[in-house]
A and B are shown apart, each in its own frame.
Chain A
């Protein structure tokens, strides 16, 4: 593993473990950044980068706290837990800390729009620019929002403990949204070259959430959705590194055990009798997965599921996906008409929108316009697997 990857992988666990002891997110992030710099600067690679980074970051954080008299008392307490003991109990102690930290970031005393952003920054280590893109806002505005949230956690004395079970419900929505957005970011690249283990991390957290809340249908739905999307990881890129769209993937490459696991979770959710958007999204993924058994996908069912999703959580991206499914059942013309009705202003910066338009325009024989749409998608900085795919489609236009 390259040192940069090791750092990215260790980040969420180490930050979570540090924050649990030191109760200051800003400080923990700064200390981790410093520790990462030292890690990159030294010549030998540590056998367990996570433990090395934790110890180094904690030492740096404690030094910083001692310089600040107000925090000296906490620093003293934290220092009592010796570094050696921290290393020994590291692997088991940490997984819980991450989920705990998500629950803390998703505290209802923090403004709704800041909760998820904060969690994405602190736990998933997403750069602020990326988070700003997900929320369709500017980087400085997002930076300010996150800084304000961190400061409130520190100043207002928000507890650094996993809240009592009866308080989980009011935080769950933001927790689920955090995992969904983290996954969206991780999943947008077929070859996972920008991913840094994020999708694996999201799967782990979503699974942990299901273990924690086995009777929460939407937690089951989210976990099923994530696992289903990941079940296709090996089929998303061909031998030349080009992205393969879902409907053209070789189902022999899908992970059938993962699909079965997701199906069981969705069954469990259905028994609980409260539907919700994550269950519907998972059901859409499961309908796609059925191609591995039936040989063809039931696009009519997919359109109906998108209709249900639009009723629960209307949004331009869902409308876009619905239009593409409609093109499969009712023809490219109907699909294109539905796509043209979607608010294009909100989709202008999204590659899938231009790629979808291009696809339908090509099917309708409007090659010049299709070419323009492919070029628009290519101008939005696609990862290499998607770029190769778009270029191939562009070359196929006649």
Chain B
């Protein structure tokens, strides 16, 4: 079963000199995770996203739309990246999701992907 792991984080902790060091550690964590998946033969994909202030949102309301400068969710924690991994159960997906580095405030949402058939 495929699960999407949506990583929401407070971007501000990566600002400044301290923040750059933190980012280095976070990236290393992601590399280690990718390596672990490869070694275990778990198929995965994922991307890192540019900061929330680069987002443009098309807001729909009953057939009408308007462009909005910024991300959809108005929170301090922005969607910063995602993975899709293929594992057997939610528990396994959660176990992996817990290993995603989130040094500051944030959340990782685990969602099953709608299967192609059925």
Which residues of A pack against B, CB within 8 Å? Answer: 69-70, 107, 109, 155-159, 161, 163, 167
Contact = CB atoms under 8 A, between A and B. Distances in A.
Contacts of B89: 157-159, 161
A163 B118 contact: no
Contacts of B92: 159
A109 B109 CA distance: 11
A183 to B, nearest CB: 28
A69 B90 contact: no
Interface string B72-90: 0000000000000000111
Contact of B118 (A69, A158, A159, A161): A69
B18 interface: no
Nearest to B117: A70
Nearest to B112: A156
Main secondary structure of the interface of A (DSSP, over half): loop
B91 interface: yes
Contact of A167 (B1, B91, B112, B117): B91
Contacts of A163: 91
Interface residues of B, number: 13
Contact of A156 (B88, B90, B117, B118): B90
25 contacts: A69-B117, A70-B115, A70-B117, A107-B91, A109-B90, A109-B94, A156-B90, A156-B112, A157-B1, A157-B3, A157-B88, A157-B89, A157-B90, A157-B93, A158-B89, A158-B90, A158-B91, A159-B88, A159-B89, A159-B90, A159-B91, A159-B92, A161-B89, A163-B91, A167-B91
Given A70-B115, A157-B3, A163-B91, 14 more contacts: A69-B117, A109-B94, A156-B112, A157-B1, A157-B90, A157-B93, A157-B112, A158-B90, A158-B91, A159-B88, A159-B89, A159-B91, A161-B89, A167-B91
- Going nearest first, the 5 A-B pairs with the smallest beta carbon separation are A70-B118, A159-B89, A157-B1, A158-B90, A157-B90
Most central of A69, A159, A163 by chain B CB within 10 Å: A159
Contacts of A167: 91
B118 to A, nearest CB: 3
Nearest to B92: A159
Most central of A107, A156, A167 by chain B CB within 10 Å: A156
Contacts of B112: 155-157
A167 B3 CA distance: 20
Contacts of A70: 115, 117-118
